[in-house]
Amino acid sequence: MCDQTFLVNVFGSCDKCFKQRALRPVFKKSQQLSYCSTCAEIMATEGLRENETLASLKSEAESLKGKLEEERAKLHDVELHQVAERVEALGQFVMKTRRTLKGHGNKVLCMDWCKDKRRIVSSSQEHAVTMPCTWVMACAYAPSGCAIACGGLDNKCSVYPLTFDKNENMAAKKKSVAMHTNYLSACSFTNSDMQILTASGDGTCALWDVESGQLLQSFHGHGADVLCLDLAPSETGNTFVSGGCDKKAMVWDMRSGQCVQAFETHESDINSVRYYPSGDAFASGSDDATCRLYDLRADREVAIYSKESIIFGASSVDFSLSGRLLFAGYNDYTINVWDVLKGSRVSILFGHENRVSTLRVSPDGTAFCSGSWDHTLRVRDGGRWAF
């Protein structure tokens, strides 16, 4: 490291030990100091030790990653579609658009169903609920149906109590709950109206108390913007999954703030994640034009839903009630319906005139709604015509 010969012609007080010694110049963070030879040597060896520590940590991390892959691979004895070979194939699908909702003046970005299955909240790139910013990227219905939460480029998540009284100004009763340092990409109430989970462009997720606005837990681990999240369906479960621009899907324990499982098989941003109805798996939709299924107990990806002809990113995914169908909205304006078990596409739905940005199956599973940049929302239902 020190292969230069210093001409010692300075004598004075060492900048480190302050003893009167022959001094040599040393550089620490581009600042020039004068150290005695002893202190200079100590600094050199400390530097070496730090580099060693860094190097050994890096190699430990690499070997752990390798071990993780090995452990996962050991249990990869079969593919999901092989197990599903004996399952009866699905016949032709017919889906009909029952409602086309044309109220938005601009791109529809997000939507959510009310538990009563008859109302939908949707957000768009405009001022429908007098939001102080243009892009409202996330919205969610409270479980009780009495409030909605939304947020976007304002970096906040605000809760609006719902009223059907035309004289009441909804914006006046709004309550700011979450504060991030970058845009809000997704939000969801937990099992009650009292807590909200948010995901943000600042790379974190957070759990907030609605009443006090207090931060209850934060979730760090994503290496880039978090774009989506979904809560595990079980009443007792306390986990959620998030997907981000770092191509990772991460499963979190809500109480400890710990990431319990992480999956990195996508080749681009993950735009949407959704739990399988049983809670044992989740699906993801990504800009790499694929959707994937990850099983939580096998701790690995178990299926990829893709076709060579599909080259546009999937923006939004959701399962049908039984988990047999995966609906995915794409940036090429279509919705592909996948057979989750067999891995094949059973239907392709047209109708939107621009990107499909959001898609949700109704809580009772009888219909699904898609929102698009073409300013509309379409509610579809239908069923199989068995052959």
Partner 1 sequence: MSSGASANALQHLVEQLKLEAAVERIKVSQAAAELQQYCMQNACKDVLLVGVPAGSNPFREPRSCALL
Residues that bind partner 1 (CB under 8 A): 29, 50-51, 53-54, 57-58, 60-61, 64-65, 67-68, 71-72, 75-80, 83-84, 87, 90, 95, 98-99, 221, 258-262, 276-278, 280-281, 295, 297-300, 302, 320-325, 340-341, 361, 364-368, 379, 381-384
H or E element that contains 47: helix 37-74
Name the minimum Å distance from CB 327 to partner 1.
8
Comparing CA positions, the residue from 271, 330, 274, 282 lying closest to residue 306 is 330
Minimum gap (Å) between residue 302 Cβ and partner 1: 6
Distance (Å, whole) CA 244 – CA 227:
5
**68 vs 146, beta carbon nearer partner 1:** 68
User: Tokens 């809560």 — which residue?
Assistant: 231
**What is the spatial distance between Cα 253 and Cα 257, in angstroms, rounded to a whole number?**
6
**Other CB atoms closer than 10 Å to residue 285's CB: what's the count?**
31
Q: Is the Cβ of residue 13 or residue 278 nearer to partner 1 in the bound state?
A: 278
Closest to partner 1 by CB, 40 vs 210, is: 40
Q: Least distance (Å) from partner 1 to the CB of residue 223?
A: 11
The H-or-E segment that residue 82 falls in is: helix 80-83
Measured from the CB atom, is 98 or 102 closer to partner 1?
98
Cβ-based nearer residue to partner 1, 67 or 173: 67
* Helices (H) then strands (E): counts for the chain: 2, 29
Q: CB-wise, 166 or 297, nearer to partner 1?
A: 297
Nearer to partner 1, 57 or 171 (CB): 57
Shortest Å distance, C-beta 246 to partner 1:
13
How far apart are the C-alpha atoms of 17 and 281, rounded to whole Å? 60
Q: How near is the Cβ of 84 to partner 1 at its closest, in Å?
A: 6
Residues paired with residue 110 on neighbouring β-strands, in sequence order:
123
Least Å distance between CB 47 and partner 1? 8
**DSSP secondary structure, 194-227, as one string:** TEEEEEETTS-EEEEETTT--EEEEE---SS-EE
Residue 257 is given by DSSP the state: -
Q: How far is the CB of 220 from partner 1 (least distance, A)?
A: 9
Nearest partner of 126 among 103, 145, 147, judged by Cα:
103
Nearer to partner 1, 16 or 72 (CB): 72
Give the C-alpha separation, 10 to 7, whole Å.
9
Contacts 24+ apart (CB under 8 A), 369-373: 369/111, 369/113, 369/120, 370/316, 370/329, 370/335, 371/108, 371/109, 371/110, 371/111, 371/122, 372/107, 372/108, 372/329, 372/333, 373/107, 373/108
Judge contact between 198 and 206, C-beta under 8 A: yes
> Closest distance between partner 1 and the C-beta of residue 70, in Å?
9
| Beta bridge partner(s), residue 28 | 31
Q: Closer to partner 1 at the Cβ: 26 or 157?
A: 26
Three-class DSSP category at 106: coil
Tell me which H or E stretch contains 123: strand 120-124
Q: How far is the CB of 340 from partner 1 (least distance, A)?
A: 7
The residue among 19 and 28 lying less far from partner 1, judged by its C-beta, is 28
Q: How far is the CB of 176 from partner 1 (least distance, A)?
A: 31
